[in-house]
Each structure stands twice: as C-alpha cells, then as structure tokens.
C-alpha cells in the first residue's frame, strides 16, 4: 500500500508519562504505516519545558497559528512535588492555559460512544458536546468578607463620571463578590460555537439565567442572538440545524430527556460543572475528547484526561498496564481529518474515519482495557494491556483498508 501524502504539517505537541508512551505507540502502529506523516514536532514533556524556560510551549502555540491544526499529548502541570521529582527551575504554568491564552479559544468536549458501554442516562444515544466559555465570571472575580455592619456599593468610574448603586446595607457579617465579562470575549465565544455547530452539523443550545440576571446574563443572551440573526441564521437553515436559547434550568431538564447529538454552550461556571456531569454520565474520562477552537479558525485536538500517572509508575516498575488510548487516538484522527478538510485531501478524511471505526469495532468485539471492562455490558470480554489494545485495533484497521 502506498502511504497517504500530506501537504501541510500538523503541529505535534508531545507530552508526559503514560500518555507519552501511548503517543509513540499510536504513531508507530496506527499512523506511520499508513500516512507519510508530516509534523512539526514540539516536545512539551516537562524536562524540555524546563530546559527552554517554557519557551517551547509558546512556540508550539505560535506554530498552531501558522499551520492551523495541532495535536497535543497530555502534559504534567507541575506542583510542588513535581519540582523535586523533575528538579525544575520553576513551577511552570499549565501548558493548556498558556496555549489557550495565545489562541483565545473555546474548549469543546465530546464523549466517544460505543454500544456496549451504556450512558447512565438511558435516553442518551448520541454524544453531547459541552462548549465552555473560558473567560471571566467567578474565575476572575473579586471577593470580600464583610466583618460587620456597613454599606456595599457597586461603583463604576468611566470617562463621564461615576455610577453608584447600593448592593446591600449590611447589619452584620456577610460576603460580597464582584465579577465581570467583556463583549469581545462573549462575541468570540458565540462565533466559535456557531462555527463549530456548522462544522459538525449539530444543533446549538445556549443557556443562561437571564430572567434573574437582567444585565449580566441578558448581555450573553443578546449578543448570541444578534450574532446569530446577522451572521448565522441563513447558514444554519441551509445546514438544517437549529439554534436554541433557553434558561439554564430548562436546559438541564431538556438535556436529561434528550437523545443527545447537540452542542450545549455554557457560561464558564456552568460549563465547568456540566462537563464533569456529562463526562461521568457517559461512562469514562478515558473516552472523552477535547478540542480547542479559536475564533480565527485554529484547532488543537487532545484527550480530556491527564498523563495517567498511577499507570506510568507501574509501567516504570516493569508491571503490566491496561491504559485506554481511545481519546488520544481520537485526538490524532480529529487532527488528521481537519488537515484533510483544510487541504482538500479526501483520503486523509477517509483514513481518519476508518481508524475511528476500527477502534470502536475493537471495543464492540469485546477487546478492551480494564477501565472499560467494568462498564461494558458485553458478556464475553477480553482485557488487554496498553500495547495489545493498539495491536488489536491495527488488525481491524488493516482488514478495513484491504
């Protein structure tokens, strides 16, 4: 078989621990035999980040702006213990945070669905994708512990003077909180969500609590609606998909009753909470994909889970591991498919589809890692180790390609 050709490289961001091992094996077994893989390689492993004073993380994000598509392995976000373990110069920031702030993106998280692992919600048949706004709200708030009686006011000092509003007349102890958002960030969140919905041809829901928060949440609702009416209504009609705004409590009720297959855009805190709820209800963190989409159309694909440290330490001891590589494989297929779409290489899209199908088929035929075996409803299950799971996928991929 001749290998598939690529024109433009993928930005490859390597990572740490167990996922770094899986990364190498995925390339060796499932990609390089079939694709003449072109990547611009950035080693975001903790050691290389330390050596470069984290410049390599910044360089990898800038390369994503240059080429448009990146695929990222999970990386360690250092804490005090890692400083000793890796003898670090500094407690470097989270690479994901650094990359996100350079690309200014929205994070979309979607589960990989297999028939034999049933979601805890019986009606869910198709994936539910959570799009989380990643700016402002309580994550950038100012808080105050009120120790005794006094008047709390909201004061804004603008070019034309001061606006003052009483928040509360405290008679005793209490708490206060101030938070903000900016139109520019809300609008780019909205556009990214509308573009993503068109991209995957799924309905978009957006929810907030505008009946109670008549300025704050109402501004989100209004900006989404204006942008939709002016820029996306016709495109949505052509694509036969819908935009729905509803109150967050109504959205929660609808989500539970639904059969899935839509994108749920959430404000920062709602998205933080709801993405963990949805991920757990679908079964396993190891089956959750994540893609950062910037308003300028750059994409960074990754698994939602971390570096699976406990398994890595076992691996270092020479013990057998059974780590699930599905989300990391789907990060690669997501990136290859996007490259295919952007560069007009249909064969690359077909290959990505087949690799995903072969991976799902493997689990459907009862061959899986330990984490899924406890969730799967199949009676005949074969638990395999980390590498053999990839070997089993390769067998099925070869069948599909021949």
d(CA 339, CA 361): 24
Q: Which does 305 bind (CB under 5 to 8 A by kind): ligand NAP, Mg ion, none?
A: ligand NAP
Site residues for Mg ion, 254-293, by CB under 5 A, read 272, 276
d(CA 123, CA 121): 6
Q: Which does 365 bind (CB under 5 to 8 A by kind): ligand NAP, Mg ion, none?
A: none
Return the number of the residue (258 or 321) whose C-beta is nearest ligand NAP.
321
Closest distance of CB 275 from Mg ion, Å:
7
The length of the chain in residues reads: 402
Closest distance of CB 106 from ligand NAP, Å:
16
d(CA 127, CA 241): 16
* Phi–psi pair at 316, nearest 5 degrees: -65, -30
Return the number of the residue (72 or 191) whose C-beta is nearest ligand NAP.
72
Return the number of the residue (36 or 276) whose C-beta is nearest Mg ion.
276
Q: Which does 309 bind (CB under 5 to 8 A by kind): ligand NAP, Mg ion, none?
A: ligand NAP
Q: Which residue is nearest to ligand NAP (CB)?
A: 306
Q: Write the DSSP symbol of residue 172.
A: S
Q: Which does 180 bind (CB under 5 to 8 A by kind): ligand NAP, Mg ion, none?
A: none
Return the number of the residue (270 or 300) whose C-beta is nearest ligand NAP.
300
Q: Which does 272 bind (CB under 5 to 8 A by kind): ligand NAP, Mg ion, none?
A: Mg ion
The count of C-alpha atoms lying within 13 angstroms of the C-alpha of 187, restricted to the half-sphere facing its C-beta, is 8
Asked if residues 343 and 357 have their Cβ atoms less than 8 Å apart, the reply is: no
Q: Considering the rule CB under 5 A, would residue 40 count as an interface residue with Mg ion?
A: no
d(CA 12, CA 52): 17
d(CA 206, CA 221): 8
- Listed in sequence order, the DSSP H helices in 228-369 are 233-239, 248-257, 268-282, 309-316, 326-343, 346-364
d(CA 287, CA 375): 12
Pairing of strands 299-303, 69-72: parallel
Closest distance of CB 385 from ligand NAP, Å:
12
Asked if residues 323 and 22 have their Cβ atoms less than 8 Å apart, the reply is: yes
Closest distance of CB 287 from Mg ion, Å:
17
Closest distance of CB 302 from ligand NAP, Å:
6
Return the number of the residue (79 or 230) whose C-beta is nearest ligand NAP.
79
Closest distance of CB 108 from Mg ion, Å:
15
Return the number of the residue (13 or 186) whose C-beta is nearest ligand NAP.
13
Map residue 53 onto helix, strand or coil.
coil
d(CA 315, CA 324): 14
Closest distance of CB 64 from ligand NAP, Å:
15
Return the number of the residue (217 or 302) whose C-beta is nearest ligand NAP.
302
Asked if residues 251 and 209 have their Cβ atoms less than 8 Å apart, the reply is: no
Return the number of the residue (190 or 291) whose C-beta is nearest ligand NAP.
291
As to burial, measured by CB atoms within 10 angstroms (0-12 exposed, 13-18 middle, 19+ buried), residue 161 is exposed
Closest distance of CB 346 from ligand NAP, Å:
31
Handedness of CA 75, 79, 82, 83 (dihedral sign): positive
Q: Considering the rule CB under 5 A, would residue 306 count as an interface residue with Mg ion?
A: no
Return the number of the residue (26 or 308) whose C-beta is nearest ligand NAP.
308
Structure tokens given for 45: 């492993």
Q: Where on the chain is the footprint of ligand NAP (CB under 6 A)? A: 74-77, 96, 285-286, 302, 305-310, 323-324, 371
Return the number of the residue (106 or 333) whose C-beta is nearest Mg ion.
106
The site map against Mg ion for 59-88 (x = CB under 5 A) is: ------------------------------
Closest distance of CB 77 from ligand NAP, Å:
4
Q: How many residues bind Mg ion (CB under 5 A)?
A: 2
Only one residue has tokens 């963190």, namely 285
Asked if residues 205 and 244 have their Cβ atoms less than 8 Å apart, the reply is: yes
Asked if residues 227 and 209 have their Cβ atoms less than 8 Å apart, the reply is: no
Closest distance of CB 187 from ligand NAP, Å:
27
Binding site for Mg ion (CB under 5 A): 272, 276
């Amino acid at each position: 078989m001749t290998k598939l050709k690529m024109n433009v490289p993928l930005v490859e961001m390597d990572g740490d621990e167990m996922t770094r091992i899986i990364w190498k094996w995925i390339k060796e077994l499932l990609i390089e035999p079939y694709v003449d893989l072109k990547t611009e390689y950035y080693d975001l492993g903790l050691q290389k980040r330390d050596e470069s004073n984290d410049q390599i993380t910044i360089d990898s994000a800038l390369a994503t702006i240059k080429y448009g598509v990146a695929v990222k392995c999970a990386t360690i976000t250092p804490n005090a213990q890692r400083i000793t373990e890796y003898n670090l110069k500094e407690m470097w920031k989270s690479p994901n945070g650094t990359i996100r702030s350079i690309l200014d993106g929205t994070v979309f998280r979607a589960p990989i669905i297999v028939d034999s692992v049933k979601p805890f919600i019986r009606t869910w048949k198709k994936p539910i994708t959570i799009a989380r706004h990643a700016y402002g709200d309580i994550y950038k708030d100012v808080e105050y512990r009120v120790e005794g009686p006094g008047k709390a006011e909201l004061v804004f000092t603008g070019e034309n003077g001061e606006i003052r509003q009483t928040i509360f007349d405290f008679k005793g102890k209490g708490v206060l909180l101030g938070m903000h958002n900016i139109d520019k960030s809300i609008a780019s969140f909205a556009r990214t969500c509308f573009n993503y919905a068109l991209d995957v041809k799924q309905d978009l829901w957006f929810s907030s609590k505008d009946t109670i928060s008549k300025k704050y949440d109402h501004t989100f609702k209004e900006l989404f609606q204006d942008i939709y009416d002016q820029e996306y209504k016709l495109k949505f009609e052509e694509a036969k998909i819908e935009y729905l705004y509803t109150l967050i409590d109504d959205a929660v009720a609808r989500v539970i009753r639904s059969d899935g297959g839509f994108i749920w855009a959430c404000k920062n805190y709602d998205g933080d909470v709801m993405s963990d709820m949805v991920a757990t209800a679908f079964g396993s963190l190891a089956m959750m994909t994540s893609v950062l989409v910037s308003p300028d159309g750059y994409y960074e694909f990754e698994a939602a889970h971390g570096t699976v440290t406990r398994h890595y330490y076992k691996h270092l001891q020479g013990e057998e591991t059974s780590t699930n590589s599905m989300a990391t494989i789907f990060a690669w297929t997501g990136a290859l498919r996007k490259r295919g779409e952007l560069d007009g290489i249909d064969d690359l899209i077909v290959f990505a589809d087949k690799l995903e199908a072969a991976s799902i088929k493997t689990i459907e035929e009862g061959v899986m890692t330990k984490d899924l075996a406890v969730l799967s409803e199949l009676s005949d299950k074969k638990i395999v180790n980390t590498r053999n799971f990839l070997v089993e996928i390769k067998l099925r991929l070869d069948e599909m390609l021949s």
